[in-house]
Structure 1
């Protein structure tokens, strides 16, 4: 009997659930809004139950912060998220109660990073940022995630303020003007009163966003020296954004260290619609099953 692997990309805005085969091909998927936890996760459970005993394991890449330490008393919980109803919710416990399967639990950006590395196996190191409703990043070195007592939270690094943005308080409920507070999607509407997709391309707000995102890329370059930095998420889906980020990055780095050509070094995801997270989850599900 052919083995099937499950993927849950648990985003702050939507859940993407998928089932794939041993070649990591998506066989079936479904998408639904991220609402309150029980309603949302029950939809995921119902999707996976239809595959019966063919489904052998699931990997979950979730918005965070989350507890991924299996020795911890709070393993499997979404912890201090500002998302209503989800703080301290036992995500893995809920799934395990209805799906008695091996599960791999990590962040959504780690899943994406793992998928990107799988799609380009020559890379030994990379960092994947999602710039969307929130900001997160996952880093891989020699096939393993970088982290210590927990997963990285690079979306909340602090950045130097843009001269034209000094009066903006930021939207992060914990830090105000950290990277997520000044560069995530909601910051666009908070500044302008206009949703990002409706803001004119000539608006200076895009260069302000790019300035902060480029700072994250410079800090990542100097700290981790990865072979590639990948930017996904709704903000970076704007086709003009990557060129703006590369320009700001070059100015900020100022040739201090050598990096590859920026068109190769700073990239958008290999697969559209963040499907690299799904591919990564299939591989992680297989990994936990074989373990």
Structure 2
């Protein structure tokens, strides 16, 4: 890359129902963007590759790539299965090599991958609801439930990455629903994800009246999850996103139930503020912007190294 060569970064947000792929300029603005339905890996990833190849012909070669994907993922760059999906609930996707979907020129370029929720958390921490804070949790409630964590300005990795959506809640006494998670049945994802809501009530949350029992039960389970994340990681802000959280009526009840489950133990004035548990400031752009940030960080690391 020459000094006069404009920076281009490929950003891919791979979700359970759709993949958003963009070729971005140096500031993260998409030069061209597409939305691709998530089907089987071969078909879906071929469309991603075709888009990036064509977009680079029109706008210039990308110098780095960031991928934000549903998981679980192998994030250790030294592992033989780096950038592969592991035992995912998404049927047919286990073992998929996400780096292999890239055009040939990008497979050797600076590259970074993280979970979709870690990437969304990074974008919100840098540009959105957590701007100016060193720590943030991003909890997405949609097809699944995922939790991304930023501590000291960096996404949390370790054995793998946070998977707090698969913790278990304390069940409501009147809740006999068995849960949908293929691994744990009645974990948070199995009880409170979008598909779980529809299976339990026969309707999506937005089709139910705001005084329906579904809202109180949903707020209780998400309040438990919020309390557990606070007790475990102590982030300065919780951002709740995903399709289920489009129901704004949830937030007031969620804040109250989080306080209930914390039981007064965590003594911080932040907890009583309406800006402690919030919606994403970046809306639906958090994921792809987070993927861009991953790619830009990888490019900077490669340049500095």
- Normalising to structure 1: TM-score of the pair? 0.94
The aligned counterpart of 1:26 is 30
Counterpart CA distance in 1 for 2:32 and 2:25 is 10
2:253 corresponds to which of 244, 248, 257: 244
2:263 to 244, 254, 257: 254
> What's the counterpart of residue 76 of structure 2?
69
Cα distance between partner residues in 2 of 1:45 and 1:102: 17
Q: For residue 124 of structure 1, what is the aligned residue in structure 2?
A: 134
1:33 and 1:51 mapped to 2: Cα distance? 21
Contiguous gaps of at least 5 residues in structure 2: none
The answer (yes or no) to whether the contact 1:67–1:77 under 8 Å persists in 2 is yes
Aligned twin of 2:200: 191
The secondary structure found in structure 1 opposite 2:274 is helix
1:284 maps to 2:289? no
1:166-192 CA-partner distances (Å, limit 9, x unpaired)? x11001010000010111101111111
TM-score by length of 2: 0.90
Tell me, yes or no, if the aligned pair for 2:62 and 2:106 is still in contact at 8 Å.
no
Instruction: Tell me how large the CA RMSD over aligned residues is.
Output: 1.5
CA positional deviation for 1:98: 6.6
Q: Give the aligned length.
A: 289
Q: Deviations over 1:86-113 (max 9, x none)?
A: 1111222332657433221110001101
Bigger drift between 256-265 and 174-183 goes to 256-265
**Contact 2:52–2:103 (CA under 8 A) maintained in structure 1:** no
Structure 1 CA distance for aligned equivalents of residues 231 and 106 of structure 2: 43
**2:71 touches 2:86 (CA, 8 Å); kept in 1?**
yes
Aligned equivalents of 2:89, 2:160: Cα separation in 1: 18
Tell me the distance in 2 between the aligned counterparts of 1:252 and 1:209.
14
